[in-house]
Structure 1
Amino acid sequence: MADNQSKIQELALEDIMGDRFGRYSKYIIQERALPDVRDGLKPVQRRILFAMNKDGNTHDKAFRKSAKSVGNVMGNFHPHGDSSIYEALVRMSQDWKLRVPLIEMHGNNGSIDNDPPAAMRYTEARLSEAAEEMLNDIDKETVDMVLNFDDTEYEPTVLPARFPNLLVNGATGISAGYATEIPPHNLGEVIDAVLYTIKHPNPSLEKLMEFVKGPDFPTGGIIQGINGLKQAYRTGKGRVVVRSKTSVEEIRGNKKQIIVSEIPYEVNKALLVKKIDEIRVMKKVDGIAEIRDESDRDGLSIAIELKKDVDARGILNYLFKNTDLQVSYNFNMVAINKLRPERMGLKEIIQAYVDFQKEVITKRTKFNLKKAEDRLHIVAGLIKALSILDQVIKTIRGSKDKKDAKQNLITSFDFSERQAEAIVSLQLYRLTNTDVTELKSEAKALNDSIDEFNNILNNPNELSKVLSAELRQVKKRYATPRLSEIQEHIEELVVDRTITVPEEQVMVLVSQSGYLKRSSLRSYKASAEEDGLKEGDFTVFKKELNTLDHLIMLTNKGNLIYRPVHEIMETRWKDTGEHISQAIGLADDEIILKAFDVKNFDEPVSFLIATSDGYIKRTSLKDFKPGRTYRKKAAVYIKLKAADAKVVNVAKLTSQSTKETILLATRNGYGLRYDLIEVPEVGPRAAGVKSMDLREDEIANFVLVNDHDQIGLITNRGSFKKMKVSEISVTSRARRGVQILRELKKEPHRVADIEVVEPGEAFEVRTSRGLIHDIIPLEHPLNERYSNGSFLVDVDSEGVPVSMNLKELDSEILNNK
């Protein structure tokens, strides 16, 4: 018991976890997820190829059940789940994943639609011819062999790989702390780059890229972005765009259809077709009539049929942008180099392959040399024995047994142990005269081979020649034309909104408390009188707009809410619509002050904004351009300095604005008038400049006026006054102004609102009780500046006037007047 206790160690959990996870990570990196830079294979792939080759399951023999190969790999080399081994085996047979498949398979080996392969008990597999190039010379001590997991057999640490498989077939994998993404390349191009590197050590990347133009995906497609390719090949990390190969065809009835003949690498075709069909069903694009997957044994084909007179290029751009018809491919070329994971550029990968191949040829040549020298030694012994045949026979006949005969031959004639073994094992028919001739010609051939092998080993140029010749043979046998097209620039996708939004005229309404809606003109005409607003709510904006227009709503707290018209909820005109707070939070006492429609944010338009605490500014429309978060977040169009301050009014200014002076009115009855030019144009987050010298007063409202205009004014006591603008002379900004009401000692009048009198318009006065009192300015005389006007609204029964708006007069009233 005491002995057991002495074995217990107290260690910190951090140290234990760090150490154990570090070891596990090292194992995962080296033994599972990342390919070796020399043969481009992960351990499971290497073991599958080696086991099938060892088992004689090669391209020139019959197919064998996949289950047999998987069991063989699992039992001898790879002690993991059969499903992971089978998945690796299947992937190596898929010609839409590998540029040069290493396995040939009979049966269902999956599809580009990501259908699962048939179970391994149904499929049959064998090595492809190209895979045997990976295994060539493995029996000639060209690679290091190590014991398997139970020390019963030897397996290779790397395959001889007689073509640059890492670049040709690419790799993808995620490990602990590392990931790799190497695209497939064209075998002919990569071999050309390797041949150039053998002949010209340390070549420039630009020179290598003359051979390796870029990836060559088995699914074809178009690769865009030479700069991204250069960066990837220089550093191992870079981004390109891969897009589908498409064409537009004319079909019956003046219609067009887009034919997709190649899709980006590793894109699931079935999901792609489903996504495009969803876009059609949801009408995110107006113009797709039907989508059909017409792929068959002759190749991939997706037909996107369009409606009549539709912009095919615009729809295609939308699909490129919003589906996997175009994807970004991110290079991350990480491989195991000298037992360590390393991000490598094109030059480093090719150099590592060249160094490895020189090593393979050196080891193979040494093996062949030793074999030739051993055979020459035996042949020399046999020639010598035949020249003294009678004595040799006599010596053998006089010996007791085979062992004695060998010893006697060594003693009597100076043969070596191996030569004596060969002589005593000789069959009698070999003792003919012709056999000597054969042996002599074999000796000559062996001597020639030994000279050749020594020349290769002693002369690096000869070794390079051998390597180059063998690579040329591989290229001649397996190279195929390039499938992927390479384009220099990434095309910027501009999607015209007319493609994504059906263009139509609609009626739009915004209410003061924050309800907004759009309705078809038909719905509006059917129920124009019922606007669906709740009691006490008022219309701020009502106008016929196009679905391609924009709407900006400005609140009294300085917040700007933006909506494209097509995104406003469509309802019947008599419904209330959606409340803006469903998407954007507003304060309890926040109201929509003004709303404006916008065709284009680059229009030469600005807004005049004034606050209750005496600030004023102009801000350009282009500063109101929406950001990406407009759906969830309001933007700021003016910074309010005081907590209780609010925006009193916003006026739109265009280059055609004729009213060039501002008239501000305060609650206590002061008016100030000055030129518009005195207000500077600043950004949306600025507070502006001082509009008026308030002295414990506040701004009630402002209007834009000319000298010949008249204004209407309503007070808190229900008094209405009409006066000439010319009564207030133009001065300058930030002054106190002049009195526009007579100050009373008892119950003085306070300005509720002012408005410009327009011909053919009436005033709609809203009260604190939610009632409306109409005033027709034509019926009232002009008052002097110091007058308090006439009492029109009964404050006791109707409530205190809050605001005053213009409304059109009925034609009948106008005619009478």
Structure 2
Amino acid sequence: MAEIIQSLPLEDVIGDRFGRYSKYIIQERALPDVRDGLKPVQRRILYAMYSSGNTYEKNFRKSAKTVGDVIGQFHPHGDTSVYDAMVRLSQDWKLRHVLVEMHGNNGSIDNDPPAAMRYTEAKLSLLSDQLLRDINKETVDFVPNYDDTEMEPMVLPARFPNLLVNGSTGISAGYATDIPPHNLAEVISATLKYIDNPDITVNQLMKNIKGPDFPTGGIIQGIEGIKKAYETGKGKIIIRSKTEMETLRNGRSQIIVTEIPYEVNKSNLVKKIDELRADKKVEGIVEVRDETDRSGLRMAIELKKDVNANAILNFLYKNTDLQVAYNFNMVAISDGRPKLMGIKPMIDSYLNHQIEVVTRRTQHDLSHAEARMHIVEGLIKTLSILDEVIAIIRNSKNKSDAKNNLVSEFDFTKEQAEAIVMLQLYRLTNTDIVALQDEHKDLETLIAKLKHILDDHEALLDVIKNELNDIKAQFKSPRRSVIEAEIAEIKIDKEVIVPSETVMMSVTHEGYIKRTSLRSFNASGKEEIGIKDKDTVLTVQEVNTQDTALVFTNKGRYLLIAVHKLPDIKWKDLGKHVSQIVPIDEDEAIVQAFVVSNFTDDEAIVTATRQGMIKKSLLSGFKSSRTSKPLVAAKVKAGDEIISVMKVNAKNDLQLITLLTHKGMSLTYPLSELPETGLRAAGVKAINLKEADTVVLADTVDDEDTILIATQRGALKRVRATLLQSAKRAQRGMTLLKELKKNPHRVVAAKVCRPEHQTFILRSNNEQYEGSIEDIHLSEQYTNGSFIVDITTFGEIKHLEINMLFKN
């Protein structure tokens, strides 16, 4: 054999070879044919069982024998793959109507493996006989098998729409298919409607086919998804387990699951629910039991007393396979090519296949009837000249000579002559001629009927309809899956996910955050909080684990952190930096933190910037499902930053907001001056700033409050809030500091003192000064206050803190 070496580019070779391989696995392995709904291996298994007589009315036969027949005659692949395909055809939780009956362990819904093929026995089911019926009447094309020693069918006659009834799933090169099973009676009813009216709409077809009908039952949600899939071949539905509630003697209740979604592994589902319970991802479950027995599937989820069973069920729908999404991807081989098909093209392809099958069967029956009639006519003629025929045969030399003599003497055809010489003597009775005449009449009627079917297309369609109705009557069964029009929204109650617990949350100016149990907090002493050197506490709050923390930064962004997800750290230990929970920029600083139980329209967030912008946004707008990244709270211009964030009562328009600037200007006005804006807005002008002036303080004030002001010269001044006259927004405001020509006082820090506050702390980088708020006497409007610290020794004032932690 001559050796031929070709020099070709690698990409051409790989492209060509992979193209051939792809064509093979698309057409010959992974995708079903639209006509009989079978993949090649399934078709070969059914045909091998049929041709070897392993049919429904016979005894069961060892599966190994069938697998051997399939491998040896039609499908030269591994025995395991063939046996697995055969087992799947027998699993009533995978197929709506099984095509193979099996004795022995054929696996389970828990994905247990079947017994070895040497132990199990199988035969064709009664319904699969309808797939193979009339295959010996030349109804379908046959092709040589892999070694040209046998002939195998390219497709089965498939007397019912098996692709829709049993569905299919598979993955090939560049294509995948997911066709759900349907109810046989509904599919046949829709097919009959289509035969009567090929222009029928999908909506009209859906009056017959309600939707998929899974062998495992369940609840299907989303009629729009079904309709879209039936129109285009692609669509999405939700499959939900069927559940019921039971009350136990001890007062507890339990959720009973009786049906689970299609192709969900039950044992994995039970394991997942139990893991959620053990990991305390869900509160209220005592135990999960698999109580499935021969009477049917049953899972019991026992609950604690007085828990919301529906809330737990919703959590399980969301986080386990008690509810799954099913995506239609109805791809099948049509005319030798993979094609995405809606329900009408599927039924149309099946109907065209049936027209061909019935036509070919009718032609086959007609030719056989005409051939038999020809023989019967010869036999009747023979009986009328019986003596002469016998004489001719007796005088002939042999069988061949007798046939030739009959043809030449009496004008018999060769076929008739063959039948005459093979005639048995007992047939030459008077009664037999009556039987022949009756058979002749029956054949005349049959031939006329068959010719009418071939000549009249409507008659042919009637044959298809009658046979489909017969199959429907014999094999129909009630729907197992319930269909609901809308996809139910799953609302998860926080109490189910997180146990309600009161904890302490602390946030520092440098961004360290933690939650601490009340036990650790009380044991450590309230002042012994663990913080870094030179860091200071921004806020400490008593919160609930079911709350949500809103942490605002100077860049106008906010972080949403569930309190239960905060690191649980002892009170004396350093917290975790917020950037390790939600990533923020290196130069981004924490401004304020609040804790929210409910995001409502009753409260609002007010933000103020150093350059004099302010905005108010309803708290409800801050709710988001995205918690992994910072979210926009306010649009901040370049060179500006957020200096204050307030949580206010959105309904109280009389609430006063006061602003204080670096040069000692103060402006106070009611909340009604602020319009409600979205989160991405920049807001409105808060105060009309002088040149080179900036906002130092923005906060809410009441009549009982006072304002403590620290200047760069180390002076402190305290004024009553009642001195601040209410004005309009965006004005210049009033002066709180007396202007000096030489070395004027400038505000570097300021705080609003509430009636309950008692102490203040001034901090520089290296020093700290602590005093009583009452020791700072209330000043008049135009004084500069009293000198508290010597700046030359104390250093630049960095922070003014009021009522540090819980000091009394």
Shorter-chain TM band: over 0.9
| 143, 147, 154: which one aligns with 1:146 | 143
Following superposition, the deviation at residue 4 of structure 1 comes to 7.5
Amino acid of the structure 2 residue aligned with 1:790? S
Q: C-alpha distance in 1, partners of 2:480/2:383?
A: 63
| Structure-2 change in CA distance of 1:415 and 1:728 (3 Å) | closer
Unaligned runs of 5+ in 2: none
Q: Establish whether residue 34 from structure 1 lines up as the match of residue 31 from structure 2.
A: yes
Q: C-alpha distance in 2, partners of 1:229/1:782?
A: 74
Amino acid of the structure 2 residue aligned with 1:651? M
| 67, 70, 88: which one aligns with 2:67 | 70
Q: How does 1:123-522 map to 2 (within 5 A)?
A: 123-522=120-519
Please state whether the residue corresponding to 1:393 is helix, strand or coil. Answer: helix
Equivalent pair of 2:524/2:572 in contact (CA under 8 Å)? yes
Following superposition, the deviation at residue 543 of structure 1 comes to 1.8
| Structure-2 change in CA distance of 1:362 and 1:768 (3 Å) | same
Q: C-alpha distance in 2, partners of 1:189/1:676?
A: 64
Deviates most, 788-797 or 154-163: 788-797
Q: Establish whether residue 721 from structure 1 lines up as the match of residue 707 from structure 2.
A: no
Q: C-alpha distance in 2, partners of 1:79/1:785?
A: 100
Amino acid of the structure 2 residue aligned with 1:37? V
Equivalent pair of 1:246/1:258 in contact (CA under 8 Å)? yes
Q: C-alpha distance in 1, partners of 2:557/2:194?
A: 64
Equivalence for 2:612: 614
Following superposition, the deviation at residue 437 of structure 1 comes to 3.2
Q: C-alpha distance in 1, partners of 2:806/2:203?
A: 79
Q: Establish whether residue 775 from structure 1 lines up as the match of residue 774 from structure 2.
A: no
Following superposition, the deviation at residue 13 of structure 1 comes to 5.5
Q: C-alpha distance in 1, partners of 2:444/2:118?
A: 52
Please state whether the residue corresponding to 1:210 is helix, strand or coil. Answer: coil
Following superposition, the deviation at residue 247 of structure 1 comes to 0.5
Please state whether the residue corresponding to 1:585 is helix, strand or coil. Answer: coil
Following superposition, the deviation at residue 730 of structure 1 comes to 5.8
Amino acid of the structure 2 residue aligned with 1:634? P
Following superposition, the deviation at residue 728 of structure 1 comes to 6.4
Q: C-alpha distance in 2, partners of 1:267/1:351?
A: 32
| 641, 647, 650: which one aligns with 1:646 | 641
Equivalent pair of 1:761/1:808 in contact (CA under 8 Å)? no
Equivalent pair of 1:764/1:774 in contact (CA under 8 Å)? yes
State the Cα deviation string for residues 148-169 of structure 1 (Å, max 9, x = none): 1222211111111122211111
Q: C-alpha distance in 1, partners of 2:720/2:184?
A: 89
Following superposition, the deviation at residue 350 of structure 1 comes to 2.3
Please state whether the residue corresponding to 2:95 is helix, strand or coil. Answer: coil
Equivalence for 2:681: 686
| Structure-2 change in CA distance of 1:781 and 1:452 (3 Å) | closer
Unaligned runs of 5+ in 1: 813-817
| Structure-2 change in CA distance of 1:227 and 1:590 (3 Å) | closer
| Structure-2 change in CA distance of 1:427 and 1:723 (3 Å) | closer
Following superposition, the deviation at residue 663 of structure 1 comes to 3.4
Please state whether the residue corresponding to 1:327 is helix, strand or coil. Answer: strand
Q: Establish whether residue 755 from structure 1 lines up as the match of residue 751 from structure 2.
A: yes
| 537, 540, 559: which one aligns with 2:538 | 540
Equivalent pair of 1:762/1:809 in contact (CA under 8 Å)? no
Q: C-alpha distance in 2, partners of 1:528/1:276?
A: 41
Deviates most, 88-97 or 148-157: 148-157
Following superposition, the deviation at residue 673 of structure 1 comes to 4.9
Equivalent pair of 2:764/2:799 in contact (CA under 8 Å)? no
Amino acid of the structure 2 residue aligned with 1:462? A
How many residues align? The count is: 805
Equivalence for 2:43: 46
Q: C-alpha distance in 1, partners of 2:306/2:442?
A: 79
Q: C-alpha distance in 1, partners of 2:64/2:362?
A: 37
Equivalent pair of 2:765/2:798 in contact (CA under 8 Å)? no
Following superposition, the deviation at residue 580 of structure 1 comes to 0.9
| Structure-2 change in CA distance of 1:720 and 1:372 (3 Å) | same
Q: C-alpha distance in 2, partners of 1:440/1:258?
A: 73
Amino acid of the structure 1 residue aligned with 2:313? L
Amino acid of the structure 2 residue aligned with 1:190? V
Q: C-alpha distance in 2, partners of 1:648/1:677?
A: 21
Amino acid of the structure 2 residue aligned with 1:100? H
Deviates most, 466-475 or 144-153: 466-475
State the Cα deviation string for residues 216-246 of structure 1 (Å, max 9, x = none): 1111111222222222223222222211111
Deviates most, 691-700 or 151-160: 691-700
Following superposition, the deviation at residue 47 of structure 1 comes to 0.9
| Structure-2 change in CA distance of 1:614 and 1:227 (3 Å) | closer
Amino acid of the structure 1 residue aligned with 2:458? N
Equivalent pair of 1:288/1:307 in contact (CA under 8 Å)? yes
Equivalent pair of 1:104/1:127 in contact (CA under 8 Å)? yes
Following superposition, the deviation at residue 182 of structure 1 comes to 1.4
Q: C-alpha distance in 2, partners of 1:758/1:469?
A: 90
Equivalent pair of 2:658/2:669 in contact (CA under 8 Å)? yes
| Structure-2 change in CA distance of 1:418 and 1:564 (3 Å) | same
Q: C-alpha distance in 2, partners of 1:730/1:95?
A: 78
Q: C-alpha distance in 2, partners of 1:569/1:344?
A: 52
Q: C-alpha distance in 2, partners of 1:449/1:672?
A: 106
Equivalent pair of 2:653/2:670 in contact (CA under 8 Å)? no
| Structure-2 change in CA distance of 1:607 and 1:299 (3 Å) | closer
Q: Establish whether residue 806 from structure 1 lines up as the match of residue 802 from structure 2.
A: yes
| 704, 707, 710: which one aligns with 1:711 | 707
Structure 1 length as normaliser, TM-score?
A: 0.92
Following superposition, the deviation at residue 379 of structure 1 comes to 2.2
Following superposition, the deviation at residue 389 of structure 1 comes to 2.6
Following superposition, the deviation at residue 619 of structure 1 comes to 3.3
Equivalence for 1:81: 78
Following superposition, the deviation at residue 36 of structure 1 comes to 1.5
| 761, 771, 791: which one aligns with 1:765 | 761
Following superposition, the deviation at residue 53 of structure 1 comes to 0.7
Amino acid of the structure 2 residue aligned with 1:764? F
| Structure-2 change in CA distance of 1:780 and 1:426 (3 Å) | closer
State the Cα deviation string for residues 94-137 of structure 1 (Å, max 9, x = none): 01011110111122211101112222232222111111111111
Q: C-alpha distance in 1, partners of 2:139/2:705?
A: 101
Equivalence for 1:527: 524
Please state whether the residue corresponding to 1:223 is helix, strand or coil. Answer: strand
Equivalent pair of 1:223/1:241 in contact (CA under 8 Å)? yes
State the Cα deviation string for residues 599-658 of structure 1 (Å, max 9, x = none): 3222332333332233333333233223x332x312232333234x43322233324476
Amino acid of the structure 1 residue aligned with 2:32? P
Equivalent pair of 1:662/1:676 in contact (CA under 8 Å)? no
Amino acid of the structure 2 residue aligned with 1:113? D
Q: C-alpha distance in 2, partners of 1:215/1:346?
A: 12
Following superposition, the deviation at residue 478 of structure 1 comes to 1.7
Equivalence for 1:815: none
Following superposition, the deviation at residue 49 of structure 1 comes to 0.6
Deviates most, 789-798 or 79-88: 789-798
| 551, 562, 568: which one aligns with 1:570 | 568
Equivalent pair of 2:37/2:167 in contact (CA under 8 Å)? yes
Equivalent pair of 2:110/2:268 in contact (CA under 8 Å)? yes
Q: C-alpha distance in 2, partners of 1:642/1:228?
A: 47
Q: Establish whether residue 637 from structure 1 lines up as the match of residue 618 from structure 2.
A: no
Structure 2 length as normaliser, TM-score?
A: 0.93
Deviates most, 149-158 or 777-786: 777-786
State the Cα deviation string for residues 239-298 of structure 1 (Å, max 9, x = none): 222111111011112111111111111111111111111121122221111110000111
| Structure-2 change in CA distance of 1:684 and 1:227 (3 Å) | closer
Q: Establish whether residue 695 from structure 1 lines up as the match of residue 691 from structure 2.
A: yes
Amino acid of the structure 2 residue aligned with 1:652? K
Deviates most, 254-263 or 120-129: 120-129
